[in-house]
Structure 1
Amino acid sequence: MLELADIEAARERVAQTARGTPLEYSHTYTAMTGAEVHLKHENFQRTGAFKIRGATNRIATLSEAAKEKGVVTASAGNHAQGVALAATRVGVDSTIVMPEHAPTAKVKATENYGAEVVLHGANYDAAAERAHEIEREEDRTYVHAFDDEQVMAGQGTLGLEIVEECPDVETVVVPIGGGGLISGIAAAVKGIDPDIRVIGVQAAGASSAAPSLQKGERVVIDDVETIADGIATRSIGDRTFAHIQEYVDEVVTVTDAEIAVTMVYLLERSKTVVEGAGAVGLAATIFDAFDYDEGEVIVPLLSGGNVDMNTLTTVIMRGLVEMGRYLKLRTVLKDRPGSLEELLAIAAGHGANIYSIHHDRTSREIELSDAEIELELEVRGHDHADALVDSLRQAGYQVEQLD
């Protein structure tokens, strides 16, 4: 089991590559929750995520002979970039196996950090299988993304920073994918003060930690489905499970809708980009996934900011829908001059802003004298949207609200 001394020893090694990241009090989320919320911005870390810490510590603790032979790993994202940069900084050769359909931006970023990228397989499991083949063929050291004590100790340096930057912290909220991050952080903060509460958060569509704790053994789920791709694992690790059992007070889940809304809040209120996995801790706090007291000092960890731009566009729209600020309606008008103007006058009277109008006379589901209309509108919230829909229905329109 990791102890505080292991994490303190990792700190000097980690500092060779990783940087300390800011921890900031948030007026916005304090007002929203009633707790005293401080955000730990690991999304400002080199490579855009916390993974550089564990990778740096693991590579730094290799023997000289192992460094000469190089390292290998499999990853589709943050771990790939962390290992690549950590290895390059100390002159160690690195090979990263990524799935064939990994985002081009992530492949290029990993190559730019100095790694040789091998594209193999349709998913992470296939990539990992090839990475282990390279490990055996070339006698390289496999750098596991989470189930490794030195990786966990490196991630745990975040816990040291949190307590130093926010000495009054009462609760730390940490994402869980494979469990390496929360294992290190929990060991660190509990080693400093056993009374600090550690809450782990998983996406509801990739939740293996809570059932594992309930059953007393690791549970492997069949499928994962979440926008938080950085924590979309089928199971936590063997070593990390033991640490979660020992150090973590509670594990909760949040939905994709809650994650999307939180990402929008962070963009709009905090002016910061956070990926889905990085937003789950704040989402759990905002949406009351765990109990806390008025004024409790809570530090949600924003663990990374590497989000694909296409994904971010989808998430923003989903978040606006969930917040009631994007409304999509369908109705049928008589196909005559002035009909559309009458409809739009009601929307304008409510102060709704029109994103787009789709006008279709060809639908086989309507009469020949009718036209089907789809409206996409910007509104101010659920109450505003409901008032607009009510007015349209009172005016005689058959309105269908679309997802």
Structure 2
Amino acid sequence: MVTQSGLEAPALGPADVPAGQPVPSAPMSAQDYLRAVLRAPVYEVAMKTPLEPMERLSRRIGNTVLAKREDRQPVHSFKLRGAYTRMRALSQQERAAGVVTASAGNHAQGVALSGARLGVRAVIVMPITTPSIKVEAVRQLGGEVVLAGNAFDEAKEHAVALAADHGLTYVAPFDDPLVIAGQGTIGLELLQDDARLDRVFVPVGGGGLAAGIAVLIKQLMPEIQVIGVEPEESACLAAALTAGHPVTLDHVSLFAEGVAVARIGEETFRLLKSSIDDVVTVSSDEISAAVKDLFDDTRAVAEPAGAVSLAGLKKYVRGHDITGERLAHILSGANLNFGSLRYIAERAELGEQREGLFAVEIPERAGSFLHFCRVLGRRMVTEFNYRYCDPDRATVFVGVELHSREERADIASALRRGGYRVADLSDDENAKTHLRYMIGGRPPVDLGERLASFEFPESPGALVHFLSVLGSRWNISLFHYRSFGMDTGRVLAGFAGASADPGFTGHLDAVGYPWSDASDSPAYRFFQADPR
């Protein structure tokens, strides 16, 4: 339970407590959770979702793959189950006062719809960077939206303050036993629909969904393995399991924002450390490939977080050489920002290892282009960018269709045997996000340049803040910005005269935006840096 101050209380035991009555504070056992799941009132507002076969993918990877379609819920996400279960247990006094939560996505909609169904005022604090489509969705469901803070943590602080000042009950997005029990009803449905499952793959953010499913399945059919899946840059459960306790990540990627949580919940970790069988992490490219798989097989358009568990399923099958099993994954949500589709489409082939990206230096002479194409052979070229460099050489950025994961190395070897200097850029984030759109344009003189990659908040004044903190110490010699319809944009910037300046790093830290040094990126060296 979460108190009105927003601080977590000990785990509760709601199984035998009528709705609206106080619940005891004794820690819940696995059997308590089983009873709580069985009594969760989710079907007053949510639906039992289908477990749908993915026939094309099943044939491709040699296993029966089944998608649990939580995108079919009224709010297109599983979050409604937990939010309603928690709010259904409010006392009459709590109902009269109302609830508050902080969320930029699916939990917000779950709380808003639950409030509308129960006649409870629902205040939703959302970061000011939240896309307008999500703000309007919450308002249409009856939620009172308050915009505060540039990120979730700041929005949560404001929500907790509102709870304390106005007597509202804070509805936690994951670290609450009643929320966990509500999400656990998905595990019950999985067993009802297919008791022959071998493994279930579950996305992990704060851990509410994974904990609910795992504790339910391990009570009823412990032979079924439950595998948690996290984005590589938001792997708070993996970090907690390594440390033996919840830890706070320094930074999380917002691509799969529905699972972009910096710290696993205390109660969810207590449950998961004894009930989860394994954890696998996946890249943004692998998630994008899973979004495409879901569309190809079911015509569902999943949000990135909704495809995380399928990405993990595919990676786990490949890494453990699994065949002939029945594997389920949770398609947890479909509240996609439309602008993100461009990024997902770009990355899907890379995530499936169906495309390789290469930088190649070719001699600037007649016939060299033809020779280069002959070395590539009959392979399909997916992208080709050429830029005159100087009288002696030119640089080429080329994408090539792949038929196997080993073919990238074969292509690079063939090009080197053909006499070319080559770099495989398929795993170079700066190449995939920025440099492939910036081919050419070397400086005419040595600028003493350093390159940095930033995540900018999508909010008014972000660029002005960036330039104001940096001041006029260095000239910005390169700047490339891309937005993907998410809460942050990606920026690549070059700074003339910074290569020998010991104060450079400190100044960038002072900006307050996540950044990394990109000066050694092979793509930058091939296409943008001074060649001397």
Give the Cα separation in 2 of the matches to 1:140 and 1:284. Answer: 38
Give the Cα separation in 2 of the matches to 1:73 and 1:226. Answer: 20
Deviation at 1:398, TM superposition (A): 5.6
Give the Cα separation in 2 of the matches to 1:45 and 1:265. Answer: 21
Matches of residues 384-399 of structure 1 in structure 2 within 5 Å?
A: none
SS of 1:47 mapped into structure 2: coil
Q: Does 1:276 align with 2:304?
A: yes
Letter in 2 for 1:198: V
Matches of residues 188-267 of structure 1 in structure 2 within 5 Å?
A: 188-225=216-253, 227-267=255-295
SS of 2:133 mapped into structure 1: helix
Deviations along 1:136-194, one digit per CA (max 9) or x if unpaired, are 12211111000111111111111111111112223222111111111111222223223
Match of 2:92 among 58, 64, 67: 64
Deviation at 1:329, TM superposition (A): 5.0
Letter in 1 for 2:34: L
Match of 1:25 among 28, 38, 53: 53
Q: Does 1:313 align with 2:336?
A: no
Question: How many residues are paired up?
Answer: 394
Q: Is the contact between residue 230 and residue 259 of structure 2 (CA under 8 Å) also seen in structure 1?
A: yes
Q: 1:54/1:373 Cα in 2 relative to 1: closer, same or farther (>3 Å)?
A: same
2:190 is matched with which residue?
Answer: 162
Q: Does 1:287 align with 2:315?
A: yes
Q: Is the contact between residue 359 and residue 395 of structure 2 (CA under 8 Å) also seen in structure 1?
A: no
Q: Is the contact between residue 29 and residue 286 of structure 1 (CA under 8 Å) also seen in structure 2?
A: no
Give the Cα separation in 2 of the matches to 1:385 and 1:216. Answer: 39
Q: Does 1:367 align with 2:395?
A: no
Deviations along 1:366-402, one digit per CA (max 9) or x if unpaired, are 3247665545566666677777777777776666554
Matches of residues 346-385 of structure 1 in structure 2 within 5 Å?
A: 350=378, 352=380, 358=385, 360-361=387-388, 366-368=389-391, 373-375=396-398
Amino-acid identity (%): 36
SS of 2:335 mapped into structure 1: coil
Q: 1:370/1:196 Cα in 2 relative to 1: closer, same or farther (>3 Å)?
A: closer
Matches of residues 8-157 of structure 1 in structure 2 within 5 Å?
A: 8-10=38-40, 13-157=41-185
TM-score, normalised via structure 1 length: 0.86
Deviation at 1:208, TM superposition (A): 2.3
Q: Is the contact between residue 280 and residue 316 of structure 2 (CA under 8 Å) also seen in structure 1?
A: no
1:297 is matched with which residue?
Answer: 326
Give the Cα separation in 2 of the matches to 1:200 and 1:385. Answer: 30
Q: Is the contact between residue 197 and residue 224 of structure 2 (CA under 8 Å) also seen in structure 1?
A: yes
Q: Is the contact between residue 325 and residue 382 of structure 1 (CA under 8 Å) also seen in structure 2?
A: no
Name stretches of at least 5 consecutive residues in structure 2 with no aligned partner: 1-27, 426-430, 432-532
Q: Is the contact between residue 57 and residue 297 of structure 2 (CA under 8 Å) also seen in structure 1?
A: no
Q: 1:93/1:34 Cα in 2 relative to 1: closer, same or farther (>3 Å)?
A: same
Give the Cα separation in 2 of the matches to 1:370 and 1:194. Answer: 63
Deviation at 1:212, TM superposition (A): 2.3
Q: Is the contact between residue 175 and residue 280 of structure 1 (CA under 8 Å) also seen in structure 2?
A: yes
Give the Cα separation in 2 of the matches to 1:374 and 1:190. Answer: 51
SS of 2:316 mapped into structure 1: coil
Deviation at 1:269, TM superposition (A): 3.9
Q: 1:369/1:211 Cα in 2 relative to 1: closer, same or farther (>3 Å)?
A: closer
Structure of greater relative contact order (alpha carbons < 8 Å, 6+ residues apart): 1
1:325 is matched with which residue?
Answer: 355
Give the Cα separation in 2 of the matches to 1:379 and 1:169. Answer: 33
SS of 1:46 mapped into structure 2: coil
Letter in 1 for 2:190: I
Deviation at 1:351, TM superposition (A): 6.0
Give the Cα separation in 2 of the matches to 1:339 and 1:93. Answer: 70
Q: 1:375/1:195 Cα in 2 relative to 1: closer, same or farther (>3 Å)?
A: closer
Deviation at 1:69, TM superposition (A): 1.3
Letter in 1 for 2:96: E
Deviation at 1:235, TM superposition (A): 1.3
Q: Is the contact between residue 173 and residue 299 of structure 1 (CA under 8 Å) also seen in structure 2?
A: yes
Deviation at 1:25, TM superposition (A): 2.4
Letter in 2 for 1:4: L
SS of 1:288 mapped into structure 2: helix
Q: Is the contact between residue 357 and residue 397 of structure 2 (CA under 8 Å) also seen in structure 1?
A: no
Give the Cα separation in 2 of the matches to 1:207 and 1:354. Answer: 33
Deviation at 1:224, TM superposition (A): 1.8
Q: Is the contact between residue 52 and residue 67 of structure 2 (CA under 8 Å) also seen in structure 1?
A: yes
Q: Is the contact between residue 285 and residue 350 of structure 2 (CA under 8 Å) also seen in structure 1?
A: no
Q: Give the stretch that moved more between structures: 22-31 or 179-188.
A: 22-31
Q: 1:326/1:154 Cα in 2 relative to 1: closer, same or farther (>3 Å)?
A: same
Give the Cα separation in 1 of the matches to 2:393 and 2:61. Answer: 49
SS of 1:287 mapped into structure 2: helix
Q: Is the contact between residue 53 and residue 155 of structure 1 (CA under 8 Å) also seen in structure 2?
A: yes
SS of 2:306 mapped into structure 1: helix
Give the Cα separation in 1 of the matches to 2:420 and 2:271. Answer: 59
Give the Cα separation in 1 of the matches to 2:400 and 2:194. Answer: 43
Deviation at 1:272, TM superposition (A): 2.3
Give the Cα separation in 2 of the matches to 1:354 and 1:254. Answer: 25
Letter in 2 for 1:306: N
Give the Cα separation in 2 of the matches to 1:328 and 1:78. Answer: 39
Letter in 1 for 2:103: S
Give the Cα separation in 1 of the matches to 2:180 and 2:77. Answer: 15
Bigger helix fraction: 1
Q: 1:114/1:216 Cα in 2 relative to 1: closer, same or farther (>3 Å)?
A: same
Q: 1:343/1:97 Cα in 2 relative to 1: closer, same or farther (>3 Å)?
A: farther
Deviation at 1:256, TM superposition (A): 2.9
Q: Is the contact between residue 98 and residue 121 of structure 2 (CA under 8 Å) also seen in structure 1?
A: yes
Q: Does 1:186 align with 2:214?
A: yes
Q: 1:335/1:137 Cα in 2 relative to 1: closer, same or farther (>3 Å)?
A: farther
Q: Is the contact between residue 361 and residue 393 of structure 2 (CA under 8 Å) also seen in structure 1?
A: no
Q: 1:347/1:325 Cα in 2 relative to 1: closer, same or farther (>3 Å)?
A: farther
